[in-house]
Homo-oligomer: A and B are copies of this chain.
């Protein structure tokens, strides 16, 4: 944790105390549970008897908190023996604190290690014998607490109470339900405002909401949770993205392969995934044979079987396979939500088998493809180079690790990629590069990944013949550029807020008929045919609504281009295209011949130009 993060956490935790003090002022009989700092803010678990806190109470609590901050009360640290502390809790009628202290006393005679440190976050201890505990006091409010805290309440930053929810004492359903009151807190008003705006924007951009509005994907109770079905519109999105990923791979000399979605579990016993993936594997039962099958949770062992099916020479290397294919992982149902976490995960996966001397060129090529992909998608990239540390949990030759890590760094530098290094973050089977993309509202998402693998070639006995006729092991390089297409779509829909660039938009062009006369409809039909021949996704709104209503409908549908078709257009064969507001289009003139206009859009789509300002 950086010093900066640590400072802000101290501030957030101090605000939890300030909030508790404010609550005690308003409801003097309040009993307190625990109140830690969390991401972006803090909470406190409170028992107010019959009183239920609602959002209407937030204002008065915030006002009281501001008064405490204005008073600039110092945070004072006190120490007591456990028995004194228990007496204090009894006297103050704080049964939850008393329970924590009693637990601590019992454990303290042996060790506190077995107690949940989160719950006891307020206790000072050297990890073996507990004799004294610490308290922090500001104004008239004293709380059992490990600290540290701000020097005084006046140092607190900008905050806002955000929500209240039920929370069982110590997370146990058989315990009493308390109220958990949440706040967010930042260094200053500007940061807070930015965060709140981002939150609001994130709600507007929620891919589940947009997915429904634009009819991109659906879930069915009969099919099951975490198993999205993609409508024609959503399928265009998926395919546009994976076609692009595949085109980049193909241009880099990768060859497409095709594998089944199931396998005998033997394959994973050899690969080692059987132990590793365990519970996440979907087991498949044949009713005809005694074979034990599994749904594949990854593709590499299957691809290895293709590599291993014929003898390979050094001249054949690098062998490069790619495939867009769905893997299945039995994610816990509670973790499933929209497309962010699904059980049917489509990967734009690839595997390279190369000589050690080829690692540099392969990595360099892959980095370039990833950069091209994300530049086109309008997302900034940052890479984490994950290396091994000095522990012995890593498999494979140490020298090979050293060379590879140096190569990875060199290629990252050569490509002028924004990156940082992380020791100890490598997989046990090899170093890797993880790519984070920043979306339009500033959130970072882990996306592409490139992983070296020194272990699978060994486990599967993969080989190639060297110049001297001797056999050697290739190195394996895994890479997914979009990662999980479903998860990436959740990110990308929120990144664009559904305002897709032309090359991805499910509907690229909409014709709006001014009237529904035969001539107008025929003319629209002619344009539609011409557009389809150019490969465009076009729709004609020839409903009986007014042109104004049709325009509004096209705006809601976020169609990039809209064209009104009436007598004038029929006479001149020229149109005045309406362009979706976010698109900084400069090269479509105000009035343009219809055929020329269609060709312009088709070219825009073909060259994957992204004219949107997100």
Residues of A bordering B, CB below 8 Å: 215, 218, 220-224, 227-232, 234-236, 238-239, 255-264, 266-267, 270, 278-289, 291, 293, 295, 301-302, 305-306, 309-310, 321, 326, 328, 330-333, 343-344
- CB contacts (< 8 Å) of A278 on chain B: these are 287
Contact, CB under 8 Å: B262 / A239: no
- CB contacts (< 8 Å) of A289 on chain B: these are 330, 332-333
How many Å lie between the Cα of A259 and that of B218 in the bound state? 10
Contact, CB under 8 Å: B287 / A281: yes
**Chain B CB within 10 A, most for which of A238, A257, A287, A288:** A288
Contact, CB under 8 Å: B229 / A257: yes
Contact, CB under 8 Å: B261 / A232: no
Contact, CB under 8 Å: B270 / A258: no
Contact of A229 among B218, B255, B284, B302 (CB under 8 A): B302
- CB contacts (< 8 Å) of A267 on chain B: these are 220, 222-223
Contact, CB under 8 Å: A223 / B264: yes
**Chain B CB within 10 A, most for which of A215, A262, A305, A321:** A262
A-B contact pairs, 7 of them (CB 8 A): A218-B305, A222-B267, A223-B260, A227-B260, A229-B260, A283-B284, A289-B330
CB distance from A355 to the nearest CB of B (A): 19
- CB contacts (< 8 Å) of A301 on chain B: these are 222
CB distance from A341 to the nearest CB of B (A): 13
- CB contacts (< 8 Å) of A287 on chain B: these are 278-283, 330
- CB contacts (< 8 Å) of A231 on chain B: these are 257, 306, 309
- CB contacts (< 8 Å) of A258 on chain B: these are 229-230, 234-235, 238
- CB contacts (< 8 Å) of A263 on chain B: these are 222-224, 227
Contact, CB under 8 Å: A235 / B256: yes
How many Å lie between the Cα of A256 and that of B291 in the bound state? 34
Contact, CB under 8 Å: B330 / A227: no
Contact, CB under 8 Å: B282 / A286: yes
CB distance from A312 to the nearest CB of B (A): 12
- Chain B: CB-nearest residue to A227: B260
CB distance from A298 to the nearest CB of B (A): 14
CB distance from A344 to the nearest CB of B (A): 4
CB distance from A351 to the nearest CB of B (A): 12
Contact of A285 among B215, B239, B259, B285 (CB under 8 A): B285
Other contacts beyond A220-B305, A222-B301, A282-B287: 11, CB < 8 A: A218-B305, A222-B264, A230-B258, A232-B256, A232-B257, A238-B258, A261-B261, A262-B282, A262-B295, A288-B332, A295-B295
- CB contacts (< 8 Å) of A332 on chain B: these are 288-289
Contact of A224 among B283, B291, B344 (CB under 8 A): B291
Contact, CB under 8 Å: A223 / B305: yes
**Chain B CB within 10 A, most for which of A267, A278, A293:** A293
Contact, CB under 8 Å: A285 / B282: yes
Contact of A260 among B283, B285, B309, B326 (CB under 8 A): B326
- CB contacts (< 8 Å) of A343 on chain B: these are 260, 262
- Chain B: CB-nearest residue to A221: B266
- CB contacts (< 8 Å) of A257 on chain B: these are 229-232, 235
How many Å lie between the Cα of A301 and that of B330 in the bound state? 22
Contact, CB under 8 Å: B309 / A228: no
CB distance from A85 to the nearest CB of B (A): 42
- Chain B: CB-nearest residue to A533: B251
How many Å lie between the Cα of A539 and that of B257 in the bound state? 18
A261-B305 contact given A282-B285, A287-B281, A293-B224, CB 8 Å threshold? no
CB distance from A335 to the nearest CB of B (A): 9
Contact, CB under 8 Å: B238 / A288: no
CB distance from A337 to the nearest CB of B (A): 15
How many Å lie between the Cα of A291 and that of B264 in the bound state? 22
Contact, CB under 8 Å: A262 / B310: no
- CB contacts (< 8 Å) of A285 on chain B: these are 282-285
How many Å lie between the Cα of A507 and that of B284 in the bound state? 37
Contact of A306 among B229, B270, B302, B344 (CB under 8 A): B229
- Chain B: CB-nearest residue to A295: B284
CB distance from A524 to the nearest CB of B (A): 15
CB distance from A377 to the nearest CB of B (A): 20
CB distance from A50 to the nearest CB of B (A): 38
A262-B227 contact given A288-B279, A288-B333, CB 8 Å threshold? yes
How many Å lie between the Cα of A305 and that of B266 in the bound state? 35
- CB contacts (< 8 Å) of A221 on chain B: these are 266
- CB contacts (< 8 Å) of A223 on chain B: these are 260, 263-264, 267, 302, 305
CB distance from A259 to the nearest CB of B (A): 5
Contact of A266 among B215, B222, B234, B261 (CB under 8 A): B222
Contact, CB under 8 Å: A256 / B228: no
How many Å lie between the Cα of A261 and that of B343 in the bound state? 10
How many Å lie between the Cα of A306 and that of B235 in the bound state? 12
CB distance from A152 to the nearest CB of B (A): 49
- Chain B: CB-nearest residue to A230: B258
- CB contacts (< 8 Å) of A236 on chain B: these are 256
CB distance from A373 to the nearest CB of B (A): 20
How many Å lie between the Cα of A215 and that of B309 in the bound state? 9
